[in-house]
Amino acid sequence: MIIAVDGPTASGKGTIAKALALHFGLPHLDTGLLYRAVGRQVFLNGTDPDISGDALAACDFPETLLGDPELRTEVTGGLASRVSIHPAVRKALYERQRAFATQPGGAVLDGRDIGTVIAPEADVKLFVTASVAARAQRRYREILERGGTATPSSIEDDLQRRDHRDTARKDAPLKPATDALILDTTALGREEAIAAAITAAQNALAA
């Protein structure tokens, strides 16, 4: 069984994907972490995330980088969005994601093109979304909890830039699969969103 969870930054898709993995007893992969690792490696290399060759070279990052706390920062998130527009980078990471999705027993993957590109045959496809304002508030609280500094308005501006890059790129743009279930978490709390996702997944599997 493959469950694909897609959606924009800070929509709650990661939290929902982890909960679905726990509920159904499946391994989980945050595919965005792979792109964050590439973005972080570009930074460590001192190269340009907007140059395809530099971003592709950074795909050869060490596995230990996936445990780097810097991957969760807003700076690295911005770099990840920039390197993800390059077709060569997406191609380099495709097989890695595909192998995880098709492992025996299945898996849960969250990202931006799981239901459309990585696992179009997924048994359950969820597209998790929320208003930019709601997503900015969530990210703002996360940053404060980590001891960081930011303003809701600056975060909202950054999210809008990321959304534009993700939806406007030619290769694997962010968009719901035609058969995806849309889950708007704008007005939902964490537990409510998880419960709604589990119900949606169970209904899809029973159909």
Domain spanning 2-200, CATH architecture:
3-Layer(aba) Sandwich (3.40)
Q: Pairing relation of β-strands 124-129 and 107-111?
A: unpaired
Q: Tell me the domain boundaries of the chain.
A: 2-200
CA distance 82 to 102: 27
pTM (two decimals): 0.88
pLDDT in tens, 54-77: 999 999 999 999 999 999 888 999
pLDDT in tens, 88-106: 999 999 999 999 999 999 9
Of 182, 203, 184, which is closest to residue 193 (Cα–Cα)? 184
